[in-house]
């Protein structure tokens, strides 16, 4: 070994002892904005949502804002589906079958109650277990047979939807039957605010001949009466909060992100990738089943031909994408999906109230999807 080759490191003695600094001092406003979006990916859909509400409130006047509670009711199914979809998309997968699972599970809940005479509570549990099992099949196909999630769930979607029609013989269970014999099935469609007002007024001995009028002179009670929040909406919010906690503050949540980010790296770093994926697909199936229960509440009946079986799948993906959750996995927050579903709901209702051709709604939503993915690509370029 020559001294020449040996001593190149001796030059380090005079070297600066500073370690690398990467703090950029003068960030432009745009860069700061980009970096804020990078840290809080659900900020974009929140901004879009607030803007959309403000625009519609300005356009349609005071009659729009009171309808916001109706928007919540309208997304009580697709919103829950979007939560399920978010989990799968965070792992860089996609679940085309969530809507079909929801409808099939709602049929299971209905059939188990009326055909097999199970208590409604047990039937609901059976439906949720069935949802988890179907999710488990998708998970098994993805993790063990290595079928790409798109194809696996495309197949499961068709199979579940067909099974749904065969099993139910395409018979609807009517709203009245359910209301009289198994009201629990419709529970997610009930309005706790109305129950509360009725309860208070019963205590006071006030009853109405038919439906309670909106204006009775009791200011607080009137406001509560008109809020129109259902248990389904509360379930959607509760599930969002629960999943946000699980994803942010538990090891499982960190593993979901790591698996979506780079499955090979996650495996080498000590994450059980297969088990994580399996749990995600099963949980997504179970949540889709809850959406099925919410579906009974929303439409009061059990209908195997509910449009959710076809459109719910795509609508949930739309909500997730507009919510800023990256289809490439590992990025995004569950709140994004919640806001995304709300954005779609606000557009649907707002443009509907404005009386424009409904095709404009789809055109706008299509534009939003493309914009959302474009923004996602821009955010991913961020450096700190």
Partner 1 sequence: MEPILKGRNLTKRYGKVVALDNCDFDLYPGEILAVIGDNGAGKSTLIKALSGAVVPDSGTVELEGRAVRFSSPNDARHAGIETVYQTLAVSPALSIADNMFMGREIRKPGLRGSLLRQLDKPAMEKAAREKLTDLGLMTIQNINQAVETLSGGQRQGVAVARAAAFGSKVIILDEPTAALGVKESRKVLELILDVRSRGIPIILISHNMPHVFEVADRIHIHRLGQRLCVVDPKDYTMSDAVAFMTGAKEPPNEAMVA
Residues at the interface with partner 1 (CB under 8 A): 1, 5-6, 8-9, 12, 15, 19-23, 38, 245, 249-252, 254-255, 257-258, 261-262, 264-272, 330-331, 382-384
3-state DSSP percent of the chain in helix, strand and coil, to 5: 75, 0, 25
Nearest to partner 1 of 174, 380 (CB atom): 380
Contact 304, 107 (CB under 8 A): yes
**Closest distance of CB 17 from partner 1, Å:** 9
Closest to 350 measured CA to CA, from 72, 65, 79:
65
- Burial of residue 72 (CB within 10 Å: 0-12, 13-18, 19+) is buried
Q: Minimum distance between the CB of residue 268 and partner 1, rounded to whole angstroms?
A: 4
- 274, two tokens: 């297969």
Q: Which is nearer to partner 1, 121 or 268 (CB)?
A: 268
Give the nearest distance from C-beta 16 to partner 1 in angstroms. 9
Quick one: 238 or 314, whose CB is closer to partner 1? 238
Comparing CB distances to partner 1, the nearer of 151 and 269 is 269
- Residue 170 or 250 having the CB closest to partner 1: 250
d(CA 247, CA 251): 8
At closest approach, how far in Å is the CB of 190 from partner 1? 29
> Please, what is the minimum distance in Å from the beta carbon of residue 34 to partner 1?
12
CB of 259 to partner 1, least distance (A): 9
Please, which residue, 59 or 245, has the CB nearer to partner 1? 245
CB of 42 to partner 1, least distance (A): 15
| Least distance CB 32 / partner 1 (angstroms) | 14
Query: Cα(first)–Cα(last) distance of the chain, in Å?
Result: 43
- CA neighbours closer than 13 Å in the CB half-sphere of residue 290: 23
Q: SS3 for 173?
A: strand
Q: Pick the closer one to partner 1 by CB: 179 or 254.
A: 254
CB 253 within 8 A of CB 96: no
Cβ nearer to partner 1, comparing 36 with 314:
36
Cβ–Cβ contacts within 10 Å for residue 383, how many? Answer: 9
Q: Write the CA distances from 190 to 57, 66, 228, 230, 283, integer angstroms.
A: 27, 19, 9, 5, 25
* Shortest reach from residue 82's CB to partner 1, in Å: 21
Q: Please give the Cα distance from 295 to 289 (Å, whole number).
A: 9
**231: which residues sit within 8 A by CB, 6+ positions away?**
187, 188, 189, 190, 191, 192, 297
Which tokens go with 154?
């495309």
Token readout for 65 is: 């804002």
Nearer to partner 1, 111 or 331 (CB): 331
Give the Cα-Cα-Cα angle 309, 313, 319 (nearest 5 degrees).
135
Separation of alpha carbons 98 and 83, rounded Å: 10
């Amino acid at each position: 070994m020559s001294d020449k080759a040996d001593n190149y490191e001796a030059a380090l003695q005079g070297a600066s002892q500073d370690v690398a600094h990467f703090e950029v001092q003068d960030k432009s406003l745009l860069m700061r904005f980009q970096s804020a979006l990078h840290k809080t990916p659900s900020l974009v859909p929140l901004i879009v949502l607030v803007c959309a509400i403000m625009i519609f409130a300005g356009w349609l006047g005071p009659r729009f804002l009171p309808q916001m509670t109706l928007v919540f009711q309208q997304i009580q199914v697709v919103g829950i589906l979007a939560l399920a979809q978010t989990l799968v998309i965070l792992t860089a997968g996609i679940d085309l079958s969530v809507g079909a699972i929801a409808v099939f599970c709602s049929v299971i809940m209905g059939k188990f109650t009326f055909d097999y005479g199970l208590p409604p509570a047990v039937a609901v549990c059976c439906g949720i277990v069935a949802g988890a099992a179907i999710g488990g099949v998708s998970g098994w196909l993805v993790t063990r047979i290595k079928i790409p999630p798109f194809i696996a769930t495309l197949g499961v979607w068709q199979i579940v939807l067909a099974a749904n029609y065969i099993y139910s013989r395409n018979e609807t269970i009517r709203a009245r039957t359910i209301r009289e014999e198994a009201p629990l099935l419709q529970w997610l469609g009930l309005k706790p605010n109305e129950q509360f007002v009725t309860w208070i007024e019963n205590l006071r001995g006030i009853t109405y001949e038919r439906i309670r009028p909106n204006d009775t002179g009791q200011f607080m009670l009137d406001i509560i009466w008109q809020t129109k929040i259902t248990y389904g909406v509360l379930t959607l919010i509760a599930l969002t909060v629960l999943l946000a906690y699980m994803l942010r503050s538990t090891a499982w949540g960190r593993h979901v992100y790591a698996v979506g980010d780079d499955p090979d790296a996650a495996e080498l770093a000590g994450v059980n990738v297969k088990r994580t994926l399996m749990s995600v697909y099963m949980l997504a199936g179970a949540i889709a089943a809850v959406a099925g229960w919410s579906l009974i509440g929303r439409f009061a009946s059990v209908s195997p031909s509910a449009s959710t079986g076809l459109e719910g799948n795509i609508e949930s993906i739309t909500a997730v994408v507009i919510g800023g959750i990256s289809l490439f996995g590992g990025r995004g927050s569950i709140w994004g999906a919640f806001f995304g579903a709300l954005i779609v709901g606000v557009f649907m209702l707002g443009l509907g109230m404005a009386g424009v051709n409904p095709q404009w709604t789809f055109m706008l939503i299509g534009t939003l999807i493309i914009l959302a993915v474009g923004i996602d690509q821009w955010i991913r370029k961020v450096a700190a």
